[in-house]
Structures are given as structure tokens and as C-alpha cells.
Amino acid sequence: MEAQKKRVAVLVGCNYPNTANELHGCINDVLAIKETLVKRFGFDDSNIEVLTDAPNSCKLPTGANIKQALAKMVDGAKEGDVLYFHYSGHGTRIPSKKHGHTVHHEEAIVPCDFNLITDLDFRQLVNRLAKGASLTILSDSCHSGGLIDKEKEQIGPSSSVQKGSTSKTSYTLTHKTIPYDFIQQHLSSLTKATATDIGTHMLELFGSNASLRFQTASHALLEALGPDEGILLSGCQADETSADMNPGVAGKAYGAFSNAVEMVVREKEGGLSNREVVVRARKVLQGQGFDQHPCLYCSDENADATFLGHPQKTEH
């Protein structure tokens, strides 16, 4: 008898309450997507782990906690399992030198403790996935395009894009990014070290829990890891920002991309491909007046595969 296939999710929402980087819609995003996963995509509530920085949260979305939850999900997967990681929060770009001369940028998400999780961490995670299992990552954060290192662009900067019209909403818009300089200054204030290399501060503060990008063996890992079966739906291109919308007393705050995906999957009873979800989300955001362009990074086969593995359930 064939073993039952699992559908497992890790959902992370960081609002950074009472800080200079506070957002308002990220926790709402993951609570909304959790309901959608259960009602329309067949996930069991017991197979969904939620990490938020809400005051009553039982498990904060620190870098170590997020990576631990992702490792547990990935390492426990078997052939046919469907895995999903949804992140709503700040992103950043880390300047780095490849090949010794040109300055490039590496993408990262910003957990509540600033223990950055980088594109290399996600690539290494995907490459550990059991053959025949799938891992879909949706990152509603700034600079999220390219968050899985070396994954193939299906919809990205080279795709045809149009600027949105001016938004007519009365919402307060906050960009979901924390500049690299701010992060470096914050970390150096904690370590009291004068080093200008962010990796020095990361290793001193977080040790072995720091990103692989800052570990000694990172260069060897970069050469060893190749494209695999990861699926990334990013809220914007690598050089763009994603919006956090706060209507104040008028309604519920939300992330623009998370909300667009929610709208897209709810209005279509049958299954949508990963490509269709991103294309439709782009159209929703353009119609709402946003200048961010969601992207899709995955293999050709996964671009046309059904989002989260099978047709959505119809709600009754």
C-alpha cells in the first residue's frame, strides 16, 4: 500500500513591533495563508508551523528558529510530499565580491533578531530535499528575487513589465526592506567590534547559527551547489521593494504580494500553475497601482506544475 503523501508548511511573519523597522501586515499575511492552505489546498493544521513576533507568540521567528523549522520540514520529507514556506517581513541585500573584482549583491531575509538567512542557505536547503518532493518558497519581502541561489529565472527582470498607475488607496505604504548599512550598524552596536565585514559580527553574535554565507566553508559550498528543484515566488525583483499596507483604523493591514496571491487563488476554483499564479499576481498589483513585479524562479517543468501540487478545493 502506497504511503500517504504529506503536505507540510512553515509560515513566518515578522512585524518587528516597537522598533524603527515596524511593519503591520506580516502576521496577518501568514494567518490568512494558513487558512487558505487548510481550506483550499488540503493541508492539515497539525502540519503547519507558524512563527511570528506577536506578543503572545510561543516561538519567535529568529534566524535559528526559522532554519530549525525549515530543516525539520525538509529533512522529514519523502517522495511526493509537498512542502511550503511563506515568509512575510523585511528583506535586504548584502554586497559581496565574486571573482575578486565586481561588487554583486546577495539576497537575504531579516528574522526578528537580524540573524540573516541568505540565498545560499535556501539553496543548500533545497538541495537536501528528497527526490520527488517539492519545496515552494513564497517570499513577500524586498529584494526577494533570486532568493534561491542559482535557480532559473522564469518570470523576472527580463520579463515584460509595466509600471502601475498611482494607487488611489488611503493606506500607509511601508517598504519591506532594511538597508544593509542599518543592519551593519545595529550588529556592530551589539558586538562593539570595529570590523566592517558583516560576517564578523554575524559569527560573533550567532556562531554556528549564522548564515552559511558567513561561514569559512561558504566558498566551497558555492562551487558545489547547483540548480535543483526549488520553486521561488518572490514579491518583487531583486532590485525592487515590496509593500506593507497599513489602513490604520479603516481595516486590516497586509502585504501587497501576499494579498494578491490570496486573491488569485481564491477566485479560481481549479488549479493554477506556478507561472499563472505569478502572472496573475503581477496583474493584480499593477491594477492596484504598485510598482513591484513578482518573479518566478524554478525549472521549466516546475513553472508549469500546479501551484502547491494539486487543484484547489472548492469552499462550501
Q: How far apart, in whole angstroms, are the C-alpha atoms of residue 38 and residue 60?
A: 22
Q: Which residue is catalytic, options 24, 90, 201, 293?
A: 90
Q: Furthest-apart CA pair in the chain: how many Å?
A: 61
User: Which residue do the cell numbers 506593507 mark?
Assistant: 244
Closest CA to 75 of 119, 127, 117: 127
**Cβ–Cβ under 8 Å, residues 213 and 118:** yes
Please name which of 143, 145, 222 lies closest in space to residue 175, comparing C-alpha atoms: 143
CA neighbor of 145 nearest in space, from 293, 11, 306:
293
The question of whether 186 is a catalytic residue gets the answer no
Backbone torsion region of residue 97, taken as left when φ is above 0, otherwise alpha when ψ lies between -120 and 50, otherwise beta: beta
Distance CA 160, CA 110 (A): 29
CA distance linking residue 95 with residue 143, whole number of Å: 13
∠ CA 167-171-175, nearest 5°, is: 80
295 as an active site residue: the answer is no
Active-site choice (142, 236, 295, 298): 142
Q: Active-site positions? A: 90, 142
